[in-house]
Structure 1
Amino acid sequence: MRTRMRLPDWNELAAHPDDNVPLLEAALLIARDEYPQLDADLYDTLLQSHVAHLQTEVDAIQAWPLKMAAINRHLFDELGYSGNHDEYYDPRNSYLNEVFERRLGNPISLAMVQMEVARRLGVPLDGVSFPGHFLVRLPVDDGLLVMDPFNGGRPLGVDELRERAKPHLGGDVPDDNALLHILDPASHRAILIRTLRNLHGLYADRQDWERAARSADRVLKLASEQPEALRDRGLAYLQLDYQHGARQDLQRYLQLAPDAADAVAIREQLIEASSRSGRMH
């Protein structure tokens, strides 16, 4: 009998080594912020049903790339998991419960489903924090198989990877060493932080400052001195008129990143916030 899934406590996560942060559980913990009645065990059971369907077929295949092809065929062709091209910026694409139910997601949420299924089947699939769209990678005899979960798990060749990276590198084409570095596996902590930063950006664009602050706060639960998250939470606090919290976060941001490109602008906002606070009192 399977034991029920226990979601971690947010306050536990910072103490875990990067890859000891439980990926599925923590992703569902992020979703529970938005869906307080979320039943984590339901989604663990659903994911395990995907695994059970594939187990016999994948066990009979020897080569990892062929195992991966079977997994992708089931997830993307038979079950219909797909990148949400029509509503890419819908926050539901980042919440794993919604991804399981709607079979729609963004690159990173679909990668987490793909990774969890593959790993339970003994296939060592890792995430890649590629610039732009999140990818996945699988070691093969002669290098790496890199796939795009947002587009049905399609394999990507070296030339396409270079072209995808180029706009994010000032127009420079990465050489072999630079590309291999970009394709380093992402830790569980890095995957979760990228998910939360995506959510922060979506909510900030909508001026939903409570959810923007919450998303930045959750980053800080995973990495307590992350400068950008301190800045993001502080700026959201300003919008929510929580002056004390905003000053604390923005002052700490400037201590950690005194030479940041936005340091002057942040100092000006701090001065303005302090002036407003003084006038109020």
Structure 2
Amino acid sequence: MHERTSLPSWSGLATLDDDAIPLFSSALLIARDEYPGLDHAVYEQLIEAHTRALRPRVDSAAHWPLKMMAINRYLFDEQGYAGNHEAYHDPRNSYLNEVCERRLGIPLSLGLLQMEVARRLGLGLDGVSFPGHFLVRLPVDGGVLVMDPFNRGRPLDVDELRERALAHLDGRDLDDQVLHQILHPASNRAILVRMLRNLYAVYVQRADWDRALRCVDRVLCLLPDDADALRDRGLCYFRLRHLRGARDDLARYLQARPAAGDAERVRELLIVASGERSRLH
């Protein structure tokens, strides 16, 4: 059964085990921060409509790859969901309501929608926090079928996966064991955190510190002790001149990671924030 009556709460998500987190409704919860009037039932009904339309096709397909092919054909060819190659960094690509309305997204948001539909049809489609672009994977015949939701669900072979991963590994070796680890399924919590961090990066690039702060604060709802998120929230507070918040978060980051590569820079910011307080008083 899927929860169809209300969205989860941020405080409630913090207490759930990773895989107990409802992925689709939690992604809509992220969108509601930007769209307070969002009617989640509209998008729940859309996913249900996709599921109903697909069920006869999926049930009639004999093998799992053929079932997945039917889902991809429906979503990407018939319904027109597509990767937004022209405006990849548009924040609307990460808000699930906009993805459903505009039929445009980035790998993660398209993959999340693909996963939700597939799971409701009985396919164990998982997300993969692959370096660079998010992917999805389906267990088949003792192996896995790995697909690229940004490119209409196109299957990827081992050579292409290796080539894609190497571009993000700074020249490190990539043997079969490492590739297998990279292709491990991502938890629902990890997927939501990646969505929030994508949005955080977009808003930092735009110097939209209020929205960047909101995103990283939500990361900390999901991962309360995450050192990187504490640092990032502290930097947002610093930009917004909320110096007490900046001092608290940056100090906690340094306590957690005193030898981090950016520790010296963070210490300098902490000194500046403390000095600003002295001048204000």
Which TM class, normalised by the smaller chain length?
over 0.9
Give 5+ residue unaligned stretches, structure 1: none
Match of 2:40 in 1: 40
- Report the Cα distance in structure 2 between the residues aligned to 1:172 and 1:253, rounded to whole angstroms: 28
* Within-5 A mapping of 1:30-179: 30-179=30-179
* TM superposition shift of 1:200: 0.5
Match of 1:222 in 2: 222
Q: Structure 1 residues 228-237 or 3-12, which shifts more?
A: 3-12
Contact 1:7/1:40 (CA < 8 Å) preserved in 2?
yes
- Report the Cα distance in structure 1 between the residues aligned to 2:182 and 2:170, rounded to whole angstroms: 15
Aligned partner of residue 127 in structure 2, secondary structure: strand
Match of 1:233 in 2: 233
Deviations 1:177-217 (A, max 9, x none): 11000000000000000000011011011100000000000
Aligned partner of residue 168 in structure 1, secondary structure: coil
| Matching residue's letter, 2:241 | D
- Report the Cα distance in structure 2 between the residues aligned to 1:3 and 1:248, rounded to whole angstroms: 37
Deviations 1:229-269 (A, max 9, x none): 11111100011110111111111111111121111100010
Match of 1:181 in 2: 181
TM-score, with normalisation over the residues of structure 1? 0.98
| Matching residue's letter, 2:103 | R
Match of 2:245 in 1: 245
* TM superposition shift of 1:173: 4.4
Aligned partner of residue 273 in structure 1, secondary structure: helix
Distance verdict in 2 for CA 1:22–1:3, change over 3 Å: closer
Aligned partner of residue 241 in structure 2, secondary structure: coil
Aligned partner of residue 73 in structure 1, secondary structure: helix
- Report the Cα distance in structure 2 between the residues aligned to 1:167 and 1:42, rounded to whole angstroms: 39
Match of 1:204 in 2: 204
* Within-5 A mapping of 1:14-33: 14-33=14-33
| Matching residue's letter, 2:92 | R
* TM superposition shift of 1:142: 3.6
- Report the Cα distance in structure 1 between the residues aligned to 2:212 and 2:259, rounded to whole angstroms: 24
* TM superposition shift of 1:168: 1.3
* TM superposition shift of 1:167: 1.6
Distance verdict in 2 for CA 1:138–1:3, change over 3 Å: closer
Contact 1:30/1:95 (CA < 8 Å) preserved in 2?
yes
- Report the Cα distance in structure 1 between the residues aligned to 2:132 and 2:269, rounded to whole angstroms: 30
Is 2:279 aligned against 1:276? no
- CA RMSD across the alignment: 1.0
- Report the Cα distance in structure 2 between the residues aligned to 1:8 and 1:246, rounded to whole angstroms: 29
TM-score, with normalisation over the residues of structure 2? 0.98
Length, aligned pairs only: 280
